[in-house]
């Protein structure tokens, strides 16, 4: 097994040899057509194949997509047989104990000194590969690149897999982040720095000093370096060191030609340029990884002073949208790599899981070894204070014996244990910029769900409501009875099925498709359905927009994790809850625009 790749071309060759690459030789357009191919492939069983488009209309450069979008390919990219191998290597470094004797020191030195090989180094090549072709000044023309117009309502073409390199004005530390770039014209793009990200923090330093900020963008690099740009490292941690750690070899860097920055020497393309303090332009909308369009807003402008590239480069792009997509596998690598680091702060954590349907920032499930009353709540609040975990809208805590690699065990914990009258902890805090469920951008309600076993000193869970005749009714029979009581309910599906309803679960779930209007809000349905005697046997009732397929479990989870504001959309009565997972209107306390769902139709 190959454990590292010098550049993107070597990785593509390895994918071809492994049967993981599909080459598309027919002419294709970068306007939506490549995206449609990629979307279909991403949602194929096991992530489909990586795609290489050799004839892209309007450009002489081929395009590669879905390079990391399967368990096989992400492991190939990072040089492991299983992603947990990365975490094991991190754990070895963290377990370095302070030497107590001279013999301990001698044993420790080789391991400590070996860390230095991870640090990036200056390329020894007379001509770095990324600078084999150079265009500066009036020769800069971004329209030569096959930049994808990903979704129909996107504001334009977006560079979607860029490695954006910046440097702190205060400390000189480098940051490499992945921030989309909307191409405005031949020599300018947007710079989508979210307010909480390190790139934005460095930009504010330059704004405060009134100085122009140099920025370099690499497009296409070795796979470990591309992954490292997506990793949620602490501020001032150099992503190039992480890439070197994954590769077990340093990343060769080359000095830019028009700005004082360094870039990966083996990159396919490099954009050099600058961002002026205070200069912003309207950017977006853009079809984002949430499965919705992120709304237009004002962001800094990136001025390109040079475009350099290899003699025969491959343009590297990704398509994001409703999961599963390629970014799900990159996020899975992060989940496994960062587990040992999380455990240094929370040693009680046995494992954690970021469900794909939660699009990385909406929900995390944590398995802990519980030791005392309130331990689950301690973990919740601790995680909300840690790095990018602070964006998480919902945290679910389960006992350490629950295998998070088997999602059905987590769902069974919900059915068997959840008591909404005692297991929910509500708070408020920062949210991801892309969270659209909160009435207030970047800030809103959060919920912690304690599914751990009760200990002395904790309130007991209430006994479930006794079974009623109605819990034995089919979904169609229930729908008929509900419609007599409540207008606007058009579909129903129950879980578990009637044959398992008596004595099998603490909780029974009912999914309803509803047709809202100005009068029929989530509260309207809650006020009519919670008192309904025929629904007393259902402790969790979820409301969805009427067109949603109630048989698609992944779709239902995705809608719930994305569309629910815990402080507004949970209607609790005793140990029963109605959760409104539908689109919200101003009549429901959501004055800002609700984004459109991504679709090629």
pLDDT digits (tens, 9 = 90+) for 401-429: 999 999 999 999 998 899 999 999 999 99
**pTM confidence score:** 0.92
Phi, psi of 543 (to 5 degrees): -105, 130
Torsion of CA 64, 240, 180, 48, to 10 degrees: 30
Q: Half-sphere exposure of residue 372, counting CA atoms within 13 Å on the CB side?
A: 2
Is 342 within 8 Å of 366 (Cβ atoms)? no
Structural domains of the chain, with CATH: 8-316 (2.30.110.10), 346-450 (3.40.1670.10), 469-588 (3.40.1670.10)
Provide the 3-class DSSP secondary structure of residue 428. Answer: strand
Q: Which of 39, 154, 198, 288 is catalytic?
A: 288
| Chain position carrying tokens 């920025």 | 215
472-527 pLDDT tens trace? 677 888 888 889 889 999 999 987 665 555 555 678 899 999 999 999 999 999 99
- Across all residues in the chain, what is the average pLDDT? 91
Q: Are 526 and 547 in contact (CB under 8 A)?
A: no
- Please calculate the CA angle 231-237-243 and round it to the nearest 5 degrees: 55
Give me the sheet containing 63-65, strands edge to edge.
Answer: 21-24, 50-53, 63-65, 315-316
The three-state secondary structure class of 272 is strand
The Cα-based distances of 149 to 145, 160, 183, 564 in angstroms read 12, 10, 10, 30
Bigger pLDDT: 601 vs 169: 169
521-526 contacts at long range (C-beta below 8 A, 24 or more positions apart) = 521/585, 521/587, 521/588, 522/569, 522/571, 522/578, 522/580, 522/582, 522/584, 522/588, 523/571, 523/588, 524/488, 525/486, 525/488, 525/489, 525/578, 525/580, 526/571, 526/578, 526/580
Q: Per residue in 189-204, pLDDT tens? A: 999 998 877 888 999 9
39 is annotated as an active-site residue: no
What is the per-residue pLDDT for 381? Answer: 96
* Residues 136-156 pLDDT 10s: 999 999 999 999 999 999 999
Residue labelled with tokens 């040899």: 17
Strands 252-255 and 262-264, sheet pairing: antiparallel
Rounded-to-integer distance, Cα 450 and Cα 194, Å:
31
Q: Using one digit for the tens of pLDDT, what is the confidence trace for 184-241? A: 999 999 999 988 778 889 999 999 999 999 999 999 999 999 999 999 888 888 999 9
């Amino acid at each position: 097994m190959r454990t590292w790749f010098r550049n993107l071309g070597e990785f593509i060759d390895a994918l071809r040899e492994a049967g993981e690459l599909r080459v598309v030789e027919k002419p294709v357009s970068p306007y939506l057509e490549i995206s449609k191919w990629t979307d279909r492939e991403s949602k194929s069983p096991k992530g489909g194949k990586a795609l290489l488009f050799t004839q892209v209309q309007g450009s002489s450069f081929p395009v590669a997509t879905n390079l990391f979008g399967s368990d096989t390919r992400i492991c190939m990219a990072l040089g492991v047989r299983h992603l947990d191998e990365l975490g094991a290597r991190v754990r070895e470094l963290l377990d370095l104990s302070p030497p107590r004797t001279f013999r301990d020191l001698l044993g420790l030195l080789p391991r400590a000194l070996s860390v230095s090989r991870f640090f990036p180094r200056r390329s020894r090549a007379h001509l770095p590969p990324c600078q084999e072709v150079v265009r500066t000044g009036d020769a800069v023309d971004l329209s030569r690149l096959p930049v994808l117009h990903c979704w129909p309502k996107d504001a334009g073409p977006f560079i979607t897999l860029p490695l954006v390199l910046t440097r702190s004005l205060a400390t000189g530390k480098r940051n490499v982040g992945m921030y989309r770039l909307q191409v405005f014209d031949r020599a300018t793009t947007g710079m989508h720095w979210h307010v909480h990200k390190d790139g934005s923090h460095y930009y504010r330093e330059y704004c405060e000093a009134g100085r122009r900020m140099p920025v370099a963008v690499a497009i296409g690099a070795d796979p470990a370096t591309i992954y490292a740009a997506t990793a949620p490292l602490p501020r001032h941690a150099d992503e190039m060191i992480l890439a070197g750690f994954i590769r077990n070899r340093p990343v060769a860097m080359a000095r830019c030609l028009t700005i004082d920055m360094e870039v990966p020497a083996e990159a396919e393309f490099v954009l050099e340029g600058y961002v002026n303090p205070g200069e912003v332009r309207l950017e977006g909308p853009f079809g984002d990884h949430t499965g919705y369009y992120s709304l237009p807003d004002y962001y800094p402008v990136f001025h390109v002073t040079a475009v350099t590239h290899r003699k025969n480069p491959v343009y590297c792009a990704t398509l994001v949208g409703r999961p599963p997509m390629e970014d799900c596998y990159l996020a899975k690598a992060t989940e496994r790599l960062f587990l040992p680091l999380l455990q240094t702060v929370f040693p009680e954590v046995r494992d954690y899981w970021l469900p794909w349907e939660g699009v990385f920032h909406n929900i995390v499930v944590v398995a802990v070894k519980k030791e005392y009353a309130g331990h689950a709540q301690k973990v919740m609040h601790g995680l909300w204070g840690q790095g990018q975990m602070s964006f998480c809208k919902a945290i679910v805590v389960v006992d350490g014996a629950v295998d998070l690699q088997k999602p059905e065990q987590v769902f069974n914990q919900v059915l068997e244990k959840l008591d909404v009258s005692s297991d929910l902890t509500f708070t408020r805090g920062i949210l991801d910029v892309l969270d659209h469920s909160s009435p207030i951008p970047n800030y809103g309600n959060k919920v912690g769900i304690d599914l751990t076993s009760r200990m002395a000193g904790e309130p007991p869970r209430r006994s479930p409501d006794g079974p009623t005749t109605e819990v034995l009714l089919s979904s169609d029979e229930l729908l008929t009875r509900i419609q007599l009581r409540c207008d606007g309910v058009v579909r129903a599906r129950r879980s578990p099925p009637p044959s398992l309803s008596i004595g099998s679960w603490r909780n029974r779930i009912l999914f309803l498709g509803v047709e809202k209007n100005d009068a029929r809000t989530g509260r309207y349905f809650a006020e009519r359905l919670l008192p309904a005697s025929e629904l007393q046997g259902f402790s969790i009732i979820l409301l969805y927009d009427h067109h949603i397929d109630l048989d698609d479990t992944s779709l239902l989870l995705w809608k719930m994790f994305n569309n629910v504001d815990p402080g507004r959309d949970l209607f609790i009565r005793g140990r029963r809850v109605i959760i409104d997972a539908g689109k919200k209107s101003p009549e429901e306390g959501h004055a800002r625009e609700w984004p459109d769902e991504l679709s090629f139709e």
